[in-house]
Amino acid sequence: MRIAFYAPLKPPTAATPSGDRRVARLLLRAIRRAGHEPFLASRFRSYEGAGDDGRQRALRRRGKAIAERLVSRLAAAERQPDLWLTYHLYYKAPDWLGPAVAGALGIPYVIAEASFAAKRAGGPWDLGHRAVEGALRAADHVLALNADDRGCVAPLLKPGARESSLPPFIDGARYRRGRALRTETRAALSARHGLDVERPWLLAVGMMRPGDKLASYRVLAEALALCADLPWHVLIAGGGAAETHVFELFARFGNRVAYLGMVNDRTLAPVYGACDVFVWPAVREAFGMAILEAQAAGLPVVAGRTGGVPGIVVDGSTGLLTAPNNAEECAGAVRVLLENSALRKSLGAAAQDRVRGAHDLSQAAERLDRVFRNVDPQLE
């Protein structure tokens, strides 16, 4: 099956790393794993973050023009797409392409991850809000990566359209291999950053951006200050426009902190395995790919109970969940794990097993294949 793939918020070819780019790339891998042939239909980015109505209208005009060109090109192609899949649309990044192209070509239109909130009607992003509503009403199937989105999406679907869950997923094998390199990676990091290998190592992974990411770093710094009486190191992977603010937040901890900078996926996998606890307050986080990656590497997680995080961390079994803006709760959970190595190991082992059984690339490929076959009866 030939599948036109589109991500209006950020294309999988974007230069800047992010969780959104990561999921888009994983979706493409899962589609290939399922035996289908995806191609990137467009790199057009519809995101408008300022609430500028004029800018949104300009993006709509550009999107419509791109859609018209795509219809002409794809209709004349030797092999047309059998299905259109759009990943992640919401009011700031609507899909101006998929409904128009799929409708013109007469092919199924599938959405993976969409959020819709009636409170956005009439607001600064009303145009995008209405476009998301229209896309959802046109969809033949909607896949929910975040369970919180399902309640608002399902009522908009047309008769015969379906909505189902696609749990967040990763290629867990990479992180299991990283865990196997724990001893040598820990020794190398210790030598490079002056870390005591006898202390527990905490790990935080997140872009250093103003807003929610910086808020998570702020809560983390406050929580670690409440655990200053215990021995630990914290390794921080990430970079971005708010780097200076993050450095200021953690300056009080001196050589307890190791900054790894921007780290690619392959390099980061053994870093997870070298650490002992993953900590991320997850302020307004959708679900957090790094949280899944850490668990795949056998790390227990301390994370904020927000968005889709409870869907990937089983509180008390694979990690400990806390209020996302509560440094005291976060510190309490970190303290429990710092003081109990046996609990760290048991939670980490359970986390790795759960990712392998419920959040792996292979399971996602099977789910996607079932959806594609359902919306295209010719594949049955």
Residue 152 maps to which CATH number? Answer: 3.40.50.2000
One domain for residues 59 and 201: no
pLDDT at 175 over 60: yes
One domain for residues 120 and 176: no
H/E run at residue 171: none
- Domain containing 53: what range? 2-169+360-379
One domain for residues 95 and 241: no
- In this predicted structure, what is the pLDDT of residue 378? 57
Find out whether 3 and 273 touch, Cβ atoms under 8 Å.
no
One domain for residues 248 and 328: yes
One domain for residues 186 and 83: no
pLDDT at 349 over 90: yes
Tokens 């869950």, residue located: 165
The secondary structure of residue 157, as a DSSP letter, is P
Grade residue 377 by pLDDT with cuts at 50, 70 and 90. low
CA 86, CA 110: separation in Å to the nearest integer?
A: 6
One domain for residues 221 and 370: no
- In this predicted structure, what is the pLDDT of residue 332? 98
**Average pLDDT along the chain:** 95
CA 332, CA 223: separation in Å to the nearest integer?
A: 8
One domain for residues 285 and 309: yes
Determine the average pLDDT of the residues in 277-286.
92
One domain for residues 345 and 365: no
Count of domains observed in the chain? 2
- In this predicted structure, what is the pLDDT of residue 16? 83
365: which residues sit within 8 A by CB, 6+ positions away? 30, 31, 33, 34
Tokens 């956005």, residue located: 120
One domain for residues 179 and 254: yes
Tokens 């790094």, residue located: 290
Find out whether 202 and 319 touch, Cβ atoms under 8 Å.
no
Q: Picking from 102-106, 168-172, 338-342, which range would have the lowest pLDDT averaged per residue?
A: 168-172
- In this predicted structure, what is the pLDDT of residue 146? 83
- In this predicted structure, what is the pLDDT of residue 380? 45
pLDDT at 370 over 80: yes
